Amino acid sequence: MKEFKIAVIPGDGIGQEVTPEGVRVLDAVGEVTGAYKLSYEYFPWGCDYYLQHGSMMPEDGLDILRPFDAIYFGAVGLPKQVPDHVSLHGLLIKIRLGFDQYVCTRPSLLLPGIKSPLAGKKHGDIDLVVVRENTEGEYSGAGGRSHPGMPFEVALETSVFTRVGVERIIRYAFELAMTRRKHLICVTKSNAQRHTLTLWDECFERLAAEFPEVRTERMLVDAMAARLVLQPESVDVAVASNMFGDILTDIGGAISGSLGLSPSVNINPERMFPSMFEPVHGSAPDIIGKGIADPIAMIWTGALMLEFLGHKAEAAMIVEAIKGVTAEGRVLTPDLGGKARTTEVTDEIIAKIRAAAR
């Protein structure tokens, strides 16, 4: 039996509520299949930690995480207590950059039984993946402010695009497209951002020549946002910069019925460092403590972590169980129009996993 060491960072808000649910499902699958065993170490890093220690994680946090096989992460942010830019950069972005997790993939799938806000869409009509560049671009952290408080105060947030960084994410997206419907859309705003994103377009065209089987398109991000709403079925894989990918994947979650259903991975494909698995959604301060957070995104994210660790069949068991629960529609949280509590949805998913294993 394979054993993996998982660093668990529940983080803030509903991250603390959905993370244990993901762990319950991972353990249930490990138990019924006997295929793996996960051992967990929990780290209480996040906004409460910041209020006590003045930082979101310890100075040597990356050194602490480095020996783990993977990081299972809940959510970050409590804007009433800690400014969002402090919490995001102090934890999530620090880990992504520090471990060169340059690929963020975020699938959007309209699950069976789930109602999209878009009229007439049924299961399978939305089945796309956004590949987001995850370590540079608009969230590189380069920049600063000078002359604070003066009328001529200056703020600079510098986008950083390197040829190495752009080429490796586009190559990853082409390789992913080869495993799917062989269609890749390159999303930029290179008409307005004429230095950085023209580099992106050039890299895309050059790499396209290496993947002649992949049908390619180039789109501006504003048109892409509209396309996701008007014609999501026409999208297979899209590759975008850090910020554009962040925004487009919220649209992907919304059109798939709820952000509470959207998984996400931050990976270092070369496996030089641990990769991090976190749902797309944030800490959802409006529903903290109510016990109604949708655990599906966190549970599905756990399945993607298993897949990355080499357990594809076990990951598929989780996704099938999720589909079974959504298709029946009896046990769903309020974001999906149901009345169930977080733990009840997990119980139902685990029951389906156990039934399938019998």
Stretch in the footprint of ligand GGG (CB under 6 A) among 75-83, 122-130, 142-150, 178-186: 75-83
How far apart, in whole angstroms, are the C-alpha atoms of residue 352 and residue 326? 12
Cβ 215 to ligand GGG shortest distance, Å: 29
Q: Which stretch binds ligand GGG (CB under 6 A): 178-186, 222-230, 273-281, 304-312?
A: 273-281
Instruction: Give the C-alpha distances (Å, rounded to integers) separating 7 from 68, 77, 229, 254, 275.
Output: 6, 19, 36, 29, 10
Q: Which long-range contacts (CB under 8 A, 24 or more apart) does 146-154 make?
A: none
Angle CA(351)–CA(357)–CA(358) in degrees, nearest 5?
A: 90
Residues 6 or more apart from 205 whose CB is under 8 A from it?
none
Our CB check for ligand GGG shows the closer of 278 and 307 to be 278
- Strand 183-188 to 237-240 pairing: parallel
Q: How far is the CB of 301 from ligand GGG (least distance, A)?
A: 9
Q: Which of 273, 276, 266 is nearest to 246 (CA)?
A: 266
Cβ at position 281, least distance to ligand GGG in Å: 6
Q: Is 246 in the site for ligand GGG (CB under 6 A)?
A: yes
Query: For residues 84 and 100, what is the distance between their CA atoms, to the nearest angstrom?
Result: 22
State whether residue 258 is helix, strand or coil.
coil
Among 6, 14, 25, 75, binds ligand GGG (CB under 6 A): 75
Taking the complex as a whole, the smallest distance from the CB of residue 206 to ligand GGG amounts, in Å, to 28
Q: Is 138 in the site for ligand GGG (CB under 6 A)?
A: no
Binding segment for ligand GGG among 72-80, 109-117, 122-130, 233-241 (CB under 6 A)? Answer: 72-80
Q: How far is the CB of 72 from ligand GGG (least distance, A)?
A: 11
Task: Give the three-class secondary structure for 213.
Answer: coil
To ligand GGG, the closest distance from the beta carbon of 261 in angstroms equals 13
Indicate the residue among 24 and 281 with the shorter CB distance to ligand GGG.
Answer: 281
SS3 156: strand
Q: Residue-wise over 182-197: b if at least 16 C-beta within 10 A, else e? A: ebbbbbbbbeebeebb
Does residue 160 bind ligand GGG (CB under 6 A)? no
C-beta of 11 vs 232, nearer to ligand GGG: 11
Tokens of 210: 């290496």
Among 30, 61, 77, 257, binds ligand GGG (CB under 6 A): 77
Site for ligand GGG in 274-303 (CB under 6 A): 278-279, 281-283
Q: How far is the CB of 152 from ligand GGG (least distance, A)?
A: 31
> Total residues contacting ligand GGG (rule CB under 6 A)?
10
- 121 vs 281 by CB, closer to ligand GGG: 281
Nearest to 225 by CA among 190, 182, 254: 254
**3 state DSSP class of 275:** strand
Minimum CB separation of residue 246 from ligand GGG in Å reads 5
Applying CB under 6 A, among 32, 35, 88, 220 the residue interacting with ligand GGG is 88
What the block records as the tokens of 161 is 């695009």
Quote the DSSP letter at residue 36. E
Residues contributing to the site for ligand GGG (CB under 6 A):
75-77, 88, 246, 278-279, 281-283
